[in-house]
């Protein structure tokens, strides 16, 4: 059984630079001593050897903080393994580590140096520990990712078919083959959507999924991406935090008197979640009375369509946060709680 984590005090900070076949680890003691990086294989045996090496430091797992970058998926197995052993694990955005590195006087970039950099980052920034998501997260997310892949393949097949049809001479066999590919992908997409619907309806997120889908404009796929991205709203404690995570919060661009740019949402945040919410506004702006009036008001005020839709997507996210956290379905007469300061963009 894992020991309780002492999140406020760590005696050992470990930086881990993870790659596909191996990972490098370096640790920084409370006295400031930084070790040289050691390399371990990305295998069960390598994880065990790494934990044995950590034990030689004489620090309890609960007082040890490991920091890994969320690059690709090579970090997942290692993070899950050490978390199960009782260690505090923090998963940081690669952009955070990149900007931290730019503030460092070092110049060379190697896996070993990156591990040492992450150890210093852990000691200075003390990022919040990570908790592995529940099984329903994997059940839904993997199907959503597979669906996205099939959608992309289907669009490619449709583009190829369209290109073939532009030629005056068409090979019937090739044309039929492309149609069969598209039909097969259609079947795969429908099958994945049916499986997603069943998981969210019968799983641990059933109530949350039902509440989110009660909001006009929020369909099955949008609700699923929303629950997966926020792990059922457990990673965001406020609707403002959720909007910031999705990259839907306008960022100010002002410095002195020379730089006074218009606020923009930029390209940060969870792109897939932002896209799902943005596309949901196409329906919500027509059939959701709150979003419709909000979007119309912004357009009448002269806001460009994209700006108005981003603002509507943020409003839609606030609504989803409200119905899930209050455990109630959407109602036309719903009034926002005083605690929610909704941006009018």
pLDDT tier at 251, thresholds 50, 70, 90: low
Has residue 150 been placed in a domain?
A: yes
Has residue 62 been placed in a domain?
A: yes
Confidence at residue 32, expressed as pLDDT on a 0 to 100 scale: 84
Q: Do 144 and 115 belong together in one domain?
A: no
Q: Do 317 and 232 belong together in one domain?
A: yes
Q: Percentage of residues in the chain with pLDDT exceeding 90?
A: 71
Tell me what the pLDDT averaged over the chain comes to. 88
Confidence at residue 210, expressed as pLDDT on a 0 to 100 scale: 96
Confidence at residue 61, expressed as pLDDT on a 0 to 100 scale: 94
Burial class (CB in 10 A: 0-12, 13-18, 19+), 218: buried
Alpha-carbon distances of 74 from 115, 149, 323, rounded to whole Å: 15, 20, 35
pLDDT tier at 108, thresholds 50, 70, 90: low
Domain membership of residue 97 as a residue range: 12-125
Q: Do 228 and 316 belong together in one domain?
A: yes
Residue 107 has pLDDT above 70, yes or no: no
Confidence at residue 12, expressed as pLDDT on a 0 to 100 scale: 94
Has residue 341 been placed in a domain?
A: no
Q: pTM score > 0.85 for this model?
A: no
Which two tokens mark 48?
A: 């065990």
Q: Do 55 and 156 belong together in one domain?
A: no
Has residue 2 been placed in a domain?
A: no
Q: Do 227 and 306 belong together in one domain?
A: yes
Choice among 134-148, 151-165, 244-258, 329-343 with the minimum mean pLDDT:
329-343
Per-residue pLDDT tens digits for 113-138: 889 999 999 999 999 999 999 999 99
Confidence at residue 243, expressed as pLDDT on a 0 to 100 scale: 92
Q: Do 189 and 229 belong together in one domain?
A: no
Q: What phi and psi values does residue 69 have, to the nearest 5 degrees?
A: -85, 145
Confidence at residue 8, expressed as pLDDT on a 0 to 100 scale: 55
Q: Which of 94, 125, 156 is the last residue of a domain?
A: 125
Has residue 255 been placed in a domain?
A: yes
Q: What's the domain count of the chain?
A: 3
Q: Do 188 and 228 belong together in one domain?
A: no
Burial class (CB in 10 A: 0-12, 13-18, 19+), 102: exposed
Q: Do 113 and 144 belong together in one domain?
A: no
Q: Which of 125, 160, 175 is the last residue of a domain?
A: 125
Mean pLDDT of 135-155: 97
Residue 140 has pLDDT above 90, yes or no: yes
Q: Do 315 and 284 belong together in one domain?
A: yes
Residue pair 28/57 in contact by the 8 Å Cβ criterion: no
Has residue 336 been placed in a domain?
A: no
Q: Do 172 and 226 belong together in one domain?
A: no
Has residue 333 been placed in a domain?
A: no
Q: Do 79 and 115 belong together in one domain?
A: yes
Residue 262 has pLDDT above 80, yes or no: no
Q: Which of 147, 179, 204 is the last residue of a domain?
A: 204
Has residue 4 been placed in a domain?
A: no
Which two tokens mark 30?
A: 């409370």
Burial class (CB in 10 A: 0-12, 13-18, 19+), 337: exposed
Q: Do 64 and 102 belong together in one domain?
A: yes
């Amino acid at each position: 059984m894992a020991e309780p984590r002492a999140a406020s005090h760590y005696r050992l900070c470990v930086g881990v630079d993870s790659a596909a076949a191996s990972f490098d680890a370096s640790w920084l003691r409370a006295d400031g001593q930084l070790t040289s990086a050691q390399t371990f294989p990305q295998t069960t045996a390598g994880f065990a050897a790494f934990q044995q090496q950590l034990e030689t430091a004489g620090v309890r797992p609960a007082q040890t903080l490991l920091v890994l970058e969320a690059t690709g998926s090579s970090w997942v197995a290692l993070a899950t393994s050490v978390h199960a052993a009782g260690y505090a694990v923090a998963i940081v955005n690669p952009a955070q580590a990149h900007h931290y590195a730019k503030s460092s006087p070092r110049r060379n970039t190697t896996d070993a140096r990156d591990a040492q950099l992450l150890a210093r980052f852990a000691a200075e920034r003390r990022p919040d520990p990570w908790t592995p998501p529940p099984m329903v997260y994997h059940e839904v997310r993997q199907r959503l990712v597979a669906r996205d892949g099939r959608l992309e393949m289907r669009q490619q097949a449709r583009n190829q078919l369209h290109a073939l049809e532009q030629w005056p001479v068409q090979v019937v066999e090739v044309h039929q083959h492309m149609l069969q590919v598209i039909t097969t992908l259609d079947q795969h997409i429908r099958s994945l959507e049916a499986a997603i619907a069943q998981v969210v309806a019968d799983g641990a997120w059933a109530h949350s999924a039902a509440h989110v889908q009660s909001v006009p404009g929020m369909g099955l796929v949008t609700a699923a991406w929303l629950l997966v991205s926020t792990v059922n709203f457990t990673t965001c404690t406020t609707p403002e935090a959720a909007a910031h995570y999705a990259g839907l919060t306008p960022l100010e661009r002002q410095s002195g008197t020379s730089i006074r740019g218009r606020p923009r949402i930029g390209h940060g945040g969870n792109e897939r979640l932002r896209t799902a919410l943005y596309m949901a506004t196409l329906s919500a702006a027509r059939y959701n009375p709150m979003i419709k009036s909000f979007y119309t008001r912004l357009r009448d005020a002269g806001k460009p369509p994209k700006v108005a839709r981003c603002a509507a997507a943020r409003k839609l996210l606030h609504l989803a946060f409200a119905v899930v956290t209050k455990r109630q379905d959407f109602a036309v007469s719903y009034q926002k709680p005083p605690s929610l300061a909704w941006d009018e963009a």
